[in-house]
């Protein structure tokens, strides 16, 4: 069966890293059709929107989405984010954002030479602090007000916590829940209560809840103590950027936005932004995009292909073919060529 994968290369360095991910996947010889969707800032300037009004319907006609990056200095960040990424995540109900944080051998890191960092972050992806509920009043006046409401629903919290515990059962069996229930009296208290309920259903999984500020410190101090970390939308966003630096930098970090248990197409993208300052120079790091493509293949049921691609990526990192952000001299395409050759 041929898999149909939508490609939203996006802005800045996005098209460059996506091209290398596609090149590496094509080297596997799988039955896969790439369908390019020219959405992003150029679409915004041409049509007044980051993507067309029927975008959700278009995406649903595919098995998965490979995305590069979205954002450009010519458009405010909140416009690009709420014009493309967040509507796709919420409209498709991609409630689980998975971000593996594993230090690949050969990648420079403050922790290089020690036992490898290997964490998996499960971030709630459709509500919480990024629910979009709120507004502004009295704009331009001295008493202008901006209100942002965090939304925690029992079902939304339950399903992401449940998924985190299920994933922990396939790993080292430890779940750490990020919370702030000492200061947030409602949303995170509900989060903690549901976490206790789910923990009771998984007695073989070790569970602890940690205040998010203490957890950030723990990630720096003793990252090897962490296995699966489950967090709200905002907390997961912040903590995974810390994790990315522990694994070598934003350029190597990958992510998957999914609706586990459904046939909804997932969105797979590197964690880094569009990096307009280096766009077009051929120096952007494609590792995160290639890793995201491996997650995409796994999602499509191509486990063998995903393993081959990930193995090739690890071989290339181990041998020292790296872009300048990792202390190397290789270009974006040279890294992609090396991974393709190892496949």
- The tokens describing 56, both together, are 């959700």
Q: What are phi and psi of 195, to 5 degrees?
A: -60, -40
Catalytic residue among 11, 23, 44, 130: 130
In the residue annotation, 213 being an active-site residue is answered as yes
DSSP state string for 119-138: EEEEEE-SSEEEEEEEEEES
Could you give the strand order of the β-sheet that contains 3-10, starting from the edge strand earlier in sequence? 32-36, 3-10, 64-69, 266-270, 254-258, 96-102, 118-124, 228-231, 174-179, 206-211
* Closest CA relative to residue 296, chosen from 68, 37, 15, 11: 68
Distance between CA atoms of 233 and 229, rounded to whole angstroms? 12
| HSE of 183, CA atoms in CB hemisphere, 13 A | 5
Q: What are phi and psi of 302, to 5 degrees?
A: -95, 65
Q: What are phi and psi of 176, to 5 degrees?
A: -115, 125
- The tokens describing 246, both together, are 């522990």
In the residue annotation, 237 being an active-site residue is answered as yes
Catalytic residue among 63, 72, 227, 237: 237
In the residue annotation, 130 being an active-site residue is answered as yes
Catalytic residue among 63, 180, 227, 315: 180
In the residue annotation, 63 being an active-site residue is answered as no
3-state secondary structure of 178: strand
Which residues are annotated as catalytic? Answer: 130, 180, 213, 237, 241
């Amino acid at each position: 069966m041929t898999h149909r994968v939508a490609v939203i290369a996006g802005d800045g360095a996005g098209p460059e890293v996506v091209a290398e991910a596609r090149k590496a996947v094509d080297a596997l010889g799988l039955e896969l059709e790439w369908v390019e969707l020219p959405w992003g800032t150029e679409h915004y300037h041409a049509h007044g929107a980051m993507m067309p009004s029927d975008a959700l319907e278009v995406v649903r006609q595919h098995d998965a989405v490979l995305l590069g990056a979205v954002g450009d200095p010519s458009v405010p960040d909140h416009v690009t984010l709420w014009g493309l990424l967040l509507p796709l995540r919420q409209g498709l109900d991609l409630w689980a954002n998975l971000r593996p944080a594993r230090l690949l051998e050969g990648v420079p890191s403050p922790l290089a030479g020690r036992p490898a960092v290997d964490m998996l972050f499960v971030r709630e992806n459709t509500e919480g602090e990024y629910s979009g509920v709120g507004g502004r009043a009295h704009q331009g006046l001295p008493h202008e007000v901006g209100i942002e409401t965090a939304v925690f629903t029992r079902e939304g919290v339950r399903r992401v916590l449940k998924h985190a515990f299920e994933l922990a059962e396939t790993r080292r069996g430890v779940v750490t829940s990020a919370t702030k229930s000492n200061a947030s009296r409602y949303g995170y208290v509900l989060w903690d209560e549901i976490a206790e309920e789910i923990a009771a259903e998984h007695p073989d999984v070790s569970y602890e809840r940690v205040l998010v500020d203490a957890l950030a410190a723990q990630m720096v101090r003793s990252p090897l103590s962490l296995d699966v970390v489950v967090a709200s939308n905002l907390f997961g966003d912040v903590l995974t950027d810390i994790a990315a630096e522990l694994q070598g930098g934003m350029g190597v970090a990958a992510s998957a936005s999914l609706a586990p248990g459904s046939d909804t197409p997932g969105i797979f993208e590197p964690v880094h932004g569009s990096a307009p300052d280096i766009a077009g120079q051929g120096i952007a790091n494609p590792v995160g995009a290639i890793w995201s493509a491996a997650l995409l293949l796994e999602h499509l049921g191509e486990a063998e292909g995903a393993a081959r691609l990930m193995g090739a990526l690890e071989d290339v990192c181990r041998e020292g073919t790296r872009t300048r952000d990792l202390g190397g001299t290789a270009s974006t395409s040279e890294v992609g060529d090396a991974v393709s050759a190892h496949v």
